[in-house]
């Protein structure tokens, strides 16, 4: 009897290990959360439509977080398709146990986007100084964005972190002062915008590995 109990526990432990390995590597395909996530996004922004095709339920073994991942999802903002490469939604474990699924964080990674495509998106967003500068002064370039959005219990945005890379930007500042071949990495949250590894040419001057920090107004 004791031997059988021992063998059962070993088999159970082994099965659990195999399950965790599969969950953290391959994942489990599911469509249970498709409508939940799409509807929650729609509730908080009526201009955004999210369509998730294949979703995998996976485990971040390092942080021991459960998340849903979907590649090449369809995100429409005011009838304009946003080129998204990967979508992740991190879930609260205890909310799953209570059958009241809560999303703690959403991560979105884009493909490489041309500035001309960005201008089409900017036209449909709230006016700002940065949007106006990009629309009127930047002629060309490409960028990649990785965005993390943190939510409260009712999926209201509480904070965000944006990281990315901008490459081969060309444009005009003012009065025939041109910039070209501008590339840099950036990091932004609700309080700061940090630019590093800034390279490029400004009206005949060369920029090498520059750094800029912009403090948001409180």
- Residues 154-210 pLDDT 10s: 777 888 999 999 999 999 887 778 888 999 999 988 888 899 999 998 877 888 888
Q: Provide Rg for the chain, Cα atoms.
A: 22
Residue 33: pLDDT band by 50, 70, 90 thresholds? confident
Q: Are 24 and 64 in contact (CB under 8 A)?
A: no
Residue 45, burial from CB neighbour count under 10 angstroms (0-12, 13-18, 19+): exposed
- The rounded percent of the chain whose pLDDT value lies above 70 is 89
Higher pLDDT, 197 or 102: 197
pLDDT at 73 over 70: yes
What average pLDDT is seen over the chain? 81
Q: Are 54 and 83 in contact (CB under 8 A)?
A: no
Residue 166, burial from CB neighbour count under 10 angstroms (0-12, 13-18, 19+): buried
Element (H, E) at 17: helix 2-25
What was the pLDDT predicted at 216?
65
Residue 139: pLDDT band by 50, 70, 90 thresholds? confident
Lowest mean pLDDT among 10-14, 48-52, 200-204: 10-14
Beta-bridge partners for 65: 60
Lowest mean pLDDT among 1-10, 134-143, 184-193: 1-10
Return the closest-CA partner of residue 113 out of 168, 69, 71. 168
pTM confidence score: 0.76
What was the pLDDT predicted at 96?
61
Cα–Cα–Cα angle for 190, 42, 64, nearest 5°?
Answer: 60
Using CA atoms of 189, 89, 153, 127 in order, give the dihedral in degrees to the nearest 10: 40
3-state class percentages of the chain: helix first, strand second, coil last, to nearest 5: 25, 50, 25
Q: Which residues neighbour 139 within 8 Å (Cβ) at sequence distance 6 or greater?
A: 115, 170, 171, 172
The HSE-up count of residue 11 (CA atoms within 13 Å, CB side) is: 6
Q: Which residues neighbour 123 within 8 Å (Cβ) at sequence distance 6 or greater?
A: 135
pLDDT at 97 over 70: no
pLDDT at 153 over 90: no
- The rounded percent of the chain whose pLDDT value lies above 90 is 17
């Amino acid at each position: 009897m004791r031997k059988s109990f021992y063998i059962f526990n070993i088999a159970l432990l082994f099965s659990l290990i195999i399950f965790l390995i599969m969950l953290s590597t391959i994942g489990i395909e599911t469509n249970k959360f498709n409508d939940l996530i799409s509807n929650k996004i729609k509730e908080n922004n009526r201009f955004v439509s999210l369509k998730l095709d294949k979703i995998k339920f996976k485990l971040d073994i390092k942080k021991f977080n459960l998340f849903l991942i979907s590649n090449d999802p369809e995100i429409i903002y005011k009838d304009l398709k946003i080129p998204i490469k990967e979508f992740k939604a991190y879930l609260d474990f205890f909310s799953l146990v209570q059958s009241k699924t809560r999303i703690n964080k959403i991560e979105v990674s884009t493909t490489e986007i041309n500035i001309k495509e960005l201008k089409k998106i900017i036209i449909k967003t709230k006016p700002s100084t940065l949007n106006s500068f990009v629309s009127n002064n930047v002629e060309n370039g490409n960028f990649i964005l990785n965005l993390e959005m943190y939510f409260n219990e009712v999926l209201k945005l509480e904070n965000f972190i944006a990281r990315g890379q901008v490459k081969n930007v060309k444009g005009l500042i003012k009065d025939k002062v041109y910039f070209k071949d501008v590339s840099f990495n950036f990091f932004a949250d609700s309080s700061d915008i940090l630019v590093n590894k800034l390279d490029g040419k400004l009206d005949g001057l060369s920029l090498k590995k520059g750094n800029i920090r912009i403090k948001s107004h409180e």
